[in-house]
Structure 1
Amino acid sequence: MRLGRSSIPVYDVSVVRDLWEVRVKKHKQRQRNEKERQQRSALAKINMQWQYRIQCRNLKISEVECLHHYLERCALQHLQRPQEDAGAAGAAGAAGAAVADSETDSRLVYRLDGEQWRELPSELQWMSYLREWHISSTRIHSLPDYLHLFSQLTVLRLPRNSITELPPEIGQLVRLKELNVNYNCLPRVPPELGDCENLERLELTGNYLSKLPFEMSALKALLHLDVSQNTFASIPICALRMYNLRLLDLSSNRLTDLPEDMDRLQQLHSLFLHKNSISYLPHCLTKISSLSIVVVNGDELTCVPTRLCDNADIKFIRLYDNAASKVRKKEEKEEEGKEGWRRRRELEEKRKDSKEKEFMEAYIDSLKDRDTTPYATTKVSISCLL
C-alpha cells in the first residue's frame, strides 16, 4: 500500500496575530460605544433622579421643594431640547427654562460654617443641582471626590478652612465663575484649574503659594485675580497672559521687581503691590491706558515714572509703615530661624492681615469717588469696641 503525502497548511504567526488584534480592537470599540450609549441614555438620568427622591426623606421641606423644582426643570429642558434645535420654538423653550432658573436660584445655595465640621455631610453628594457652595470657618481639610458631579456650580466660596489641596476634578466645573479659597493651607494649585474657562473671579489670599501653573493662562475670561499674602517672588507668567484681567492683587508677597512686559494687561484697572520689597516701577505701566488705581509701599520705593505720578486719571497711593512696625519686622526676621515660632507668627499674621485687607478694600472704595487722593498714607492700627 502506498502512503500518500499528507498536506498540512502552515500559517504565518504574524497573520494570526494581526487577525486577533483586529478582533480585540473591534471588541474594545464596541465596549466604548456601549458605554457612551449608556451615558447618553435617559436611564442613567432617571436612576439619579430616583436617588434624589430617596434622599428627600431626610431633607427639610424647603430643600424638598427645591429638589422638585430642579427635577421639573430637568424634565422641561429634556423635552424642550428638540425644540431648541428646531429654531423659533427652541427660543421659547430657552426662555421658559430661564424663568424656572430665576425662581429657584435663591434656594440653590449650600451654606456650612463652624469649627465643629471636619468633613462635608454625606447627603451633599445627592445635591448636584446646587449652584453655589458657601463653606467657611470649618476644619475641613479636603474637597470630596464627587465634586465633578456638581456641573451646575457657578460659585465656590471656601474661605478660612483648613483645605490643603484642590482636587484635579475641579477642572470639570466648566460653569464655575467664582472661586474663593482665601486663608487656607494650599501649597499649590492644580493645572486642571485652567480648564474652568468661564472663571471670572479667583481669590487665593493667605495660602502658601509661590507659583501658579502655566495652564492657567487659558483663563481668558478672568477679571479679578487676588494672590495676596502668599510667597510669590515674581509675578506668575500665566497672570501676564490673562489679557482681560482688570484687578491684580499681589500685595504682601516677596516681590522685588516687576517685569517689563506688564503692558500686556491692557484691560488692567487696579494694581495692588504694597507690602513687598519693590524699589522701582517699570515704565511700561504708563502704557496701560485703563489703569486707574496703583497702591505701593512708599518706604522702599525710589524710582517711579513721572508720567505715572502726574497722571490725573490714576490714583497713585503710597503706604508708609510707622517706626514701631519697622522695628517689629526687623525682630521677626531675626527670629525666622525658629520654626515653631514662625508657624505661630504666620497664623497670627493671617488673622491680622485679613482685617487689614478688609480695611484696605473699604479705603480703596472710598477713594473711587474722589477727584484727588492723598499723596501719602500712614498705616495705623484701628481697634473698635462695640
Structure 2
Amino acid sequence: MRAFRIRMPSGDAYWTVIDDDYEVQPVADRYLRELRFGRDRAESTTKAYAESVSLFLRWALSTRRDWSTAARDLGLFIVWLKHTPARSDRALAGPGVDPVRGASRINKILTATRGFLLFAVTASEIPSWVTEQLYEVADSQDLPMAAQNESGDLRYRMRARHGLHQPETAVDRATDAEIVALFKACRNARDRLIVFLLARAGLRRGEAAGLRRCDLHLLPDNSVHDCSVAGAHLHVVRRANPNGAWAKSRRQRMVPLDFLTVRAIDLYLLERDEQPAAANCDFMLVNLFREPLGAPISIGAINELFTTLGRRAQLPRGISPHQGRHAFASNLADSGAMLDEIQTLLGHASPQSSKPYLHPSAERLRTAIDSVPSPREMTEGLS
C-alpha cells in the first residue's frame, strides 16, 4: 500500500491509496476525494492523509488483520509505527532499538486513520462499533481552565482513545536581527522579496508561493484594479495552484504593504523581466535561476531558501519561514496594534488563534511593569 497522486481532467489533483497491483483502495479513495473536494482541503493535506492511511492498511495487511475491524488493535498499530521503517513491513522492536517515528508523527498518522475509519462508519462500509474503539466519552473537567466553559457547567465530548504524549513545542519568533541577517544573506531581489513577504506582510509559505501578479495592487489610487482599498496592498486568495500552493483560510483577505516591501517588489519585477521564460506566467514568484525557468516556485523551495540563508548568515539557530510570520505578528503587537487587527492581518478566524503568534519583547514587558502606578502609601514607606 502506498500513496499515489491522481490528476483530474479539470487539472485539480489529490492523493489516494493504491496496492502493489496499482489497484485503488475504494473506501480510502472516496474518503480522500471527499477530503480534497468536499471539504476543500489542500492537495498537500490529502497527500499527508493518504500516506497515513496507507500505513494503516499496510499494517493490517502485513499482520493479516481485516482493516475494517482492526481498530480494536490500534495499540499494536502504534507499536508497529514506532518500530517499523517506512519501506519495510517487519517491526524492529526490542531492547536498545531506537524508534523510527516520534510521538508527533505517530499522533498525526492516528488522526488521519481515525478520520478514515469514521468516514467508513458513516458510509456504512464498516461496523458502527468501530467508533467506540476510536473515541470515548469524556467530560470537560480534564481540560485546561482556559478551555473550560466560563459558567462552570459540565460538558461532554468525544476524546480519542489512542495517542502518545508529546511535549508542547511553541514556535518562537525570528528576531529583527535575524530577519536583517537573512535579508543581507540574499543574493538576488526575488529572495529578498520572499523574506519581506513573510516577515513584513505575515504571509504563510503557501500564500506567498500562490500569489498572482493580479493580487498585488501597488498604486495609490486602485481604481484601475476596480478595488476600493486605497494604498499599496495585496490580496490573499484561496485557489487551486499547479505548484500545490494553498491559502489556508477560505476567506480572502487584504494585507497593506509598507514602503520597504513595495520597493522590494519593484526591484524584483525588474529582475523578473530579464527572464523571458517568466513573461507569460501570472504567478508572482517564479524560478529565475533553475529549471523549470519561469515556472512558479514551490513551497519546498521557500523552506530550502531559509535553510540556505540561515547557513550563509551563520546564524546560531535555524530560522523557519513560519518564524517570519511570528515576527510580523509580534512586531505588530509591540507597535501597539490591537488583537483584532493582528487577527485580520494574519487571516485567522478567531482572536484565540492569533495569541500564540504574539511574543512580547523584553523591553515591552519592562515598559508594561514600569507603567503601573504605585500607590502613594507604598512610595512614602520606602522613602
Q: Same fold (TM over 0.5)?
A: no
Q: Structure 2-normalised TM-score?
A: 0.24
Q: In terms of Rg, which structure is larger?
A: 1
Q: Structure 1-normalised TM-score?
A: 0.23
